[in-house]
Amino acid sequence: MNTTEILFFFLSALAIFSAIMVLISKNPIHSVLWLVAVFFAISGHYILLNAQFLAIVNMIVYAGAIMVLFLFVVMLMNLNAETEPQKNLWMKLAGVISGGCLLMVLVSLVRQATDLNAKKAMTTTGDIGLIKNLGKLLFSEYVVPFEITSVLFLSAMIGAIVIGKKE
């Protein structure tokens, strides 16, 4: 086992553990923080795939902005276990059965999709995810859509300033 595989399995275990903790955490604030850990583990996977730009965007946008928004919403909703309606035994049993059925379907799909006799996937993908190559593509092949997007963002900022300005 090389270092890349060890990191992959560690990040996968971290992501799965954090996702399970999101589900079983009683406190909604703790669930949001575990979700941040899931996003960081996924960003680690992006780095292993040599997609640094996606990793940074994932950390900034999801782990930063979206999770702060989730945290504010959860804090403003004031979710308490006392105010939550109690679920009867049949509802819990139906949830466990449907979750088990979903797990069986997913396991069968994964078994069909993967061929155990196939060759190992390449661990290096070259320079496909580097920011330098992304910049070259944006300013050569996709320069017109890039400029149109910049004008759209500029008009959105001007509109927000005009709407937010007090007269």
Residue 91: per-residue pLDDT: 87
% the chain with pLDDT above 70: 86
Residue 22: per-residue pLDDT: 92
Q: What top-level class would CATH report for the domain 3-129? A: mainly alpha
The beta strand positions in 2-105, using DSSP E, are: none
Q: Residue 76 pLDDT > 50, yes or no?
A: yes
Q: DSSP character for 59?
A: I
Residue 117: per-residue pLDDT: 47
- Vertex 97 angle, CA 32 and 106, to 5°: 70
C-beta pairs of 22-29 under 8 Å, 24+ apart in sequence: 26/81, 28/74, 28/77, 28/79, 29/71, 29/74, 29/75
CB 58 within 8 A of CB 46: yes
Confidence of residue 137 (pLDDT cuts 50, 70, 90): confident
Domain segments of the chain: what residues? 3-129, 130-167
Q: Residue 147 pLDDT > 50, yes or no?
A: yes
Residue 142: per-residue pLDDT: 86
End-to-end CA distance of the chain: 66
